[in-house]
Amino acid sequence: MDFSEIKGVILDMDGVLWRGDYPLLDLPDFFSRLKSLGLQVVLATNNSTRSVPQYLEKLNGFEVVLGPENIVTSSMAAASYLSQKYPSGAPVYVIGEIGLKDTLREWGFYYSEAEKDVVAVVAGLDRNLNYHILTRGVQLIYHGAEFIGTNPDRTFPSPSGLTPGTGALLAFIQAATGRDPIVMGKPEPYLFQLSLQRMGLPSSQVLVVGDRLDTDILGAQRIGCKSVLVLSGVTTPQEIAVPNPAQPHSIVPDFILNNVEELPGLISNADEI
Amino acid sequence: MDFSEIKGVILDMDGVLWRGDYPLLDLPDFFSRLKSLGLQVVLATNNSTRSVPQYLEKLNGFEVVLGPENIVTSSMAAASYLSQKYPSGAPVYVIGEIGLKDTLREWGFYYSEAEKDVVAVVAGLDRNLNYHILTRGVQLIYHGAEFIGTNPDRTFPSPSGLTPGTGALLAFIQAATGRDPIVMGKPEPYLFQLSLQRMGLPSSQVLVVGDRLDTDILGAQRIGCKSVLVLSGVTTPQEIAVPNPAQPHSIVPDFILNNVEELPGLISNADEI
């Protein structure tokens, strides 16, 4: 592959850059090498609960200084999607945490529960979820509001064990309304499309790096980006070692690395060949 | 059909006997006519939130005096199902309201959240539901507890509009665990099996009466009971007027009545022919 085409990278965070609070590589060195290769960088996450300042603070804790332009979340993809229909904002009903609520507000979307007003129900992980919150969302969708989900993840790891994710919450609303959500996060295209737009690059000039076949790599294939699977997260070498004849259309990354720290080498060495 | 075979009737309540707080017929007269025909009666409901005393009180408000032996709920079907595996009771994790919690306790099943103890997660409608309650259920199922749902209903009508039902809550847990629940209520067989057992009658001697094709009538077919659809509830005459060629196996009741008050006449007239 001709890596001289590559002008930008979209990086997943958890399982690629860190696991929880532990960095998986020398992060300051990694980002300075990407910079010296002249690559644009976007960190793209399905997580809708954290705000951009929270991510920048986390990166700062690892001695990495990036700007808000380097972060794209599924909350931002939802706000961007909505602003194409309602450029000057609109009333929405939000099920979610601060990352989603703040982002929608910044883009001009304000909270409402009124049937006559609400144009969309935007649902993301909400650990303060209760029956009343869900019921209002269901009733608003019943009355015609659009149903938007931030991400499809059905579980996520937490210190207390595996924990229900946005996908479980969406399944509740789906069952009660009979309606499918428009989902913003990977493997759907919206999050990556916003990342490309942010860099001002076509998909042919961007590499997607992640640790999950069914979100990162599948999502990359869908928007036409080359993909790099790293084995530092949830995917084991065994899962990708042998093509599965029962799944002829299984998801295959363009490159596989043990750790994302090999990425600058891959790109610069290939340039020299 | 030879109605002299019929020794018992299983009646749905809402949409058959009453709608909310309004009786759909002269209830005291109806039950005395069933009694004079020598028929055993069970009122069977998918609703897990109310206790048997609450139902008897509601019937009393309509001047109908029945005993606890005449009421079967999906909570009781869950307790009965569990007691076949654990005759002397066991620790269970309960998501539900008073009808479910009281019933399980009466059958010897006591509440626990401990992974090493809990044999089953029993989930029914809980209008005090929150994320923490759901998460604990998900984690216990992950650790091997059986997953039991009281009923499959995805919505139910309420004064504030259509409201999410047990089926929506089960979809949440299903999405997060990847496991399907064993469901007690109609159209699954457990609720009706318990009703037959209560009467001590085989299915060939029992008529099932209800207002829903997809729960009451389908459930009756599955256990081998003849069925009567009444048009006083959710099913409209239009829905059953014309066989649907797109659904060759659509659900067809044995008899159709406008109102359940015609039932004693149907049974006694047929006897006389």
Q: What is the pLDDT of residues A207-237, one digit of tens each?
A: 999 999 999 999 999 999 999 999 998 888 8
pLDDT at B270: 59
A171–B175 C-beta distance less than 8 A: yes
Residue numbers of A between 176 and 235 with CB closer than 8 Å to B:
176, 178
pLDDT at B247: 61
Under 8 Å between Cβ of A149 and A124: yes
Contacts of B176 in chain A (CB under 8 A): 154-155, 164-165, 167-168
Q: What is the mean pLDDT of residues B109-113?
A: 96
The chain-wide mean pLDDT, for chain B, equals 93
pLDDT at B50: 94
Under 8 Å between Cβ of A208 and A225: yes
Closest by CA position to B72, among listed B215, B184, B219, B171? B184
pLDDT at A78: 98
Closest by CA position to B124, among listed B160, B78, B91, B156? B78
pLDDT at A140: 97
Q: Which residues contact B5 (CB under 8 A, 6 or more apart)?
A: B204, B205
Under 8 Å between Cβ of B221 and B227: yes
Residue A159, amino acid: P
Taking every pair of C-alpha atoms in chain A, what is the biggest distance, in angstroms? 62
pLDDT higher than threshold 50 for residue A114: yes
Reduced to 3 states (helix: H, G, I; strand: E, B; else coil), residue A190 is helix
Reduced to 3 states (helix: H, G, I; strand: E, B; else coil), residue B157 is strand
Reduced to 3 states (helix: H, G, I; strand: E, B; else coil), residue B163 is strand
Q: Is A236 left (phi over 0), alpha (psi -120 to 50) or beta?
A: beta
| Residue that is written with structure tokens 């610069």 in the block | A268
pLDDT higher than threshold 60 for residue B248: no
Cα B141 to Cα B153: distance, rounded to the nearest angstrom: 21
| Residue that is written with structure tokens 């295959």 in the block | A252
pLDDT at B273: 45
The chain-wide mean pLDDT, for chain A, equals 93
Contacts of B157 in chain A (CB under 8 A): none
Orientation angle between helical segments A27-36 and A263-272, nearest 10 degrees: 30
Angle at the Cα of A144 from the Cα atoms of A142 and A150, rounded to 5 degrees: 85
pLDDT at A249: 62
**Architecture of the domain whose range is A3-46+187-272:** 3-Layer(aba) Sandwich (3.40)
What is B80-183's CATH superfamily?
HAD superfamily/HAD-like (3.40.50.1000)
pLDDT higher than threshold 70 for residue A241: no
pLDDT higher than threshold 50 for residue A273: no
pLDDT at B164: 97
pLDDT at A205: 97
Reduced to 3 states (helix: H, G, I; strand: E, B; else coil), residue B183 is strand
Orientation angle between helical segments A166-177 and A131-142, nearest 10 degrees: 50
| Residue that is written with structure tokens 């005449």 in the block | B70
DSSP state of A260: G
Q: A3-46+187-272 and A80-183: same fold?
A: yes
Q: What is the pLDDT of residues B144-176, one digit of tens each?
A: 999 999 999 999 888 888 899 999 999 999 999
Reported confidence tier of residue B242, pLDDT bands at 50, 70, 90: low
Nearest to B131 among A128, A138, A162 (CB): A128
ipTM above 0.90, yes or no: yes
Element (H, E) at B78: helix B74-85
A165 touches chain B (CB under 8 A): yes
Q: What is the pLDDT of residues B49-64, one digit of tens each?
A: 999 999 999 999 999 9
- Which residues on neighbouring strands pair with residue A162, listed in sequence order? A157
Cα A12 to Cα A24: distance, rounded to the nearest angstrom: 13
**For chain A, what are the domain ranges?**
3-46+187-272, 80-183
Rg (CA), chain B: 19
pLDDT higher than threshold 80 for residue A101: yes
Residue B99, amino acid: G
Nearest chain B CA: its distance from A194 CA (Å): 28
Burial string for A184-223 (b: 16+ CB within 10 Å, else e) reads bbbbbbbbbbbbbebbebebebbbbbbbbbebbbbbbbeb
Q: Is B63 left (phi over 0), alpha (psi -120 to 50) or beta?
A: left
Nearest to B162 among A139, A155, A167 (CB): A139
B175–A164 C-beta distance less than 8 A: yes
Choose from A151, A172, A179, A183 for mutation: most chain B CBs within 10 A. Answer: A172
Cα B229 to Cα B252: distance, rounded to the nearest angstrom: 9
